[in-house]
C-alpha cells in the first residue's frame, strides 16, 4: 500500500512562522522553553544502588549457606 502524504494547510504554516504583518514569531517562545533539556535520573541511581545491595547480600548468603550445607 502506498503512503498518503498530507499537505500542510496555510493556517498551520502561519502558526509556525508567526504573523507576517507584525513580524513576531509565535513558535520561538515555545521552542525556548523546550530547548533546556535537563532530565532527572536520581531515581534510577537509587534503584540501581538498591539492586546492587540486594544482589550482594544474596551472594553472601549463598556463600555462607554453602559452608553449612557441606
Q: pLDDT tens digit string along 18-42?
A: 555 566 555 555 555 557 888 999 9
Which residues touch 27 (CB under 8 Å, ≥6 apart)? 15, 16, 17, 18
Question: So what's the pLDDT on residue 65?
Answer: 96
pTM above 0.85, yes or no: no
Distance CA 28, CA 59 (A): 55
Amino acid at each position: 500500500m502506498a503512503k498518503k502524504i498530507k499537505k500542510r494547510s496555510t493556517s498551520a504554516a502561519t502558526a509556525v512562522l508567526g504573523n507576517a504583518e507584525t513580524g513576531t514569531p509565535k513558535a520561538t517562545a515555545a521552542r525556548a522553553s523546550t530547548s533546556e533539556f535537563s532530565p532527572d535520573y536520581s531515581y534510577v541511581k537509587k534503584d540501581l544502588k538498591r539492586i546492587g545491595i540486594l544482589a550482594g547480600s544474596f551472594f553472601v548468603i549463598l556463600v555462607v549457606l554453602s559452608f553449612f550445607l557441606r
